[in-house]
Amino acid sequence: MTTMTEATTRTLDVPGATLTYDVRPNASSAEPPLFLIGSPMGAAGFGTLSGHFPDRTVITYDVRGADRSTKPDMTSPSTPDEHADDIHRIIQEVGGPVDLFASSGGAVNALALVAKHPEDVRTLVAHEPPLATVLPDRENAQAAARAVHDTYMRSGFGAGMAHFIAVVSHQGPFPDDIAQQPAPDPAMFGMPTEDDGNRTDPLMGQTIIGTTHYEPDFEALRAASTRIVMAAGVESEGIMSSRGAFAVAERLGTEPVIFPSGHSGFMGGEYGQPPGEPEAFAAKLREVLET
């Protein structure tokens, strides 16, 4: 059995940020490096999944403005195009092309990357991109994302996160009055009810609007040399991120691949969340990459 090599941590100065990324090398592998990305979730969320690919060089990183990757104003918005440029620069440093597994906001950033730099990626597995713009109810879905941001800016982390959970777990199309619906009580989710005044959360402060409101360049994606596989969790049916995967696949003329578990099915308890099904998830990912 191949053993997992230790990660080497590196930094890279890019316009407007200093990125921190990790490389677990496997010099004997004939396969391209496997790059695992989320957004704003960083490298720490991929510890379990990385461990299932000891036979590959594995790259993970923290997106600008989150965890170890800094920018002068940690509250300023970050866009998928900026993240795409960051990923491109890391691939240039490590050497590409890569196979890319991208989840949630990372899947949105990966679609932006492939539209601009298809030569960077051999196969993209884009797992559950929360793209409001591709949905039939796009205006209501965008309004729901803006409402989460507004709640966070007005009332702080606990209130914002409770509102976020309500929106991302919403089943089916969003109603016309979604932005007027009151946010749930943070205590229902074990969140703090007091506002500590901090507004540096990268999810609700920096990325939620830019991610959900992003307009993919479908003409460029259809023309790209990259093999693009849209993916959705079997337990995610009906939520915005799963609907996004199906809608993007339809625009690309493909069928989404169904993965085990749900939105965070590849995780093994990171951030204290209940584990998904990381072993089955990794096996499915390997199957898709080797197809």
* CATH assignment at residue 61: 3.40.50.1820
Task: Tell me, yes or no, whether 57 and 148 share the same domain.
Answer: no
Half-sphere exposure of 234 (CA within 13 A, CB side): 9
pLDDT in tens, the chain (291 residues): 445 578 899 999 999 999 999 999 998 888 999 999 999 999 999 999 999 999 999 999 999 999 999 999 988 999 999 999 999 999 999 998 999 999 999 999 999 999 999 999 999 999 999 999 999 999 999 999 999 999 999 999 999 999 999 999 999 999 999 999 988 999 999 999 999 999 999 999 989 999 999 999 999 999 999 999 999 999 999 999 999 999 999 999 999 999 999 999 999 999 888 899 999 999 999 999 998
Task: Tell me, yes or no, whether 19 and 67 share the same domain.
Answer: yes
CA distance 173 to 123: 30
Task: Tell me, yes or no, whether 30 and 94 share the same domain.
Answer: yes
pLDDT value of position 4: 58
pLDDT value of position 3: 54
* 21 is a domain residue: yes
67 near 39, Cβ under 8 Å?
no
Task: Tell me, yes or no, whether 147 and 199 share the same domain.
Answer: yes
Q: For residue 287, count other CB atoms closer than 10 A to its CB.
A: 10
* 220 is a domain residue: yes
Task: Tell me, yes or no, whether 143 and 257 share the same domain.
Answer: no
Helix, strand or coil for residue 67?
Answer: coil
pLDDT value of position 29: 86
Task: Tell me, yes or no, whether 115 and 223 share the same domain.
Answer: yes
The CA R_g of the chain, rounded to the nearest whole Å, is 18
* 182 is a domain residue: yes
Task: Tell me, yes or no, whether 190 and 246 share the same domain.
Answer: no
Task: Tell me, yes or no, whether 66 and 159 share the same domain.
Answer: no
In order of 4, 46, 87, 262, the CA distances from 50 in angstroms are 9, 6, 18, 18
Task: Tell me, yes or no, whether 81 and 58 share the same domain.
Answer: yes
* 267 is a domain residue: yes
What residues make up the domain containing 221?
Answer: 8-131+214-290
Go through 116-130 and write b for each residue having 16 or more CB atoms within 10 A of its CB, e for each that does not.
ebbebbbbbbbbbbb
Task: Tell me, yes or no, whether 110 and 244 share the same domain.
Answer: yes
Instruction: Report helix angle 138-155 to 157-168, nearest 10.
Output: 160
Task: Tell me, yes or no, whether 23 and 98 share the same domain.
Answer: yes
pLDDT value of position 27: 83
* 69 is a domain residue: yes
Q: Which helix (H) or strand (E) holds 24?
A: strand 17-24
CA distance 70 to 254: 37
**Domains of the chain: total:** 2
Task: Tell me, yes or no, whether 27 and 91 share the same domain.
Answer: yes
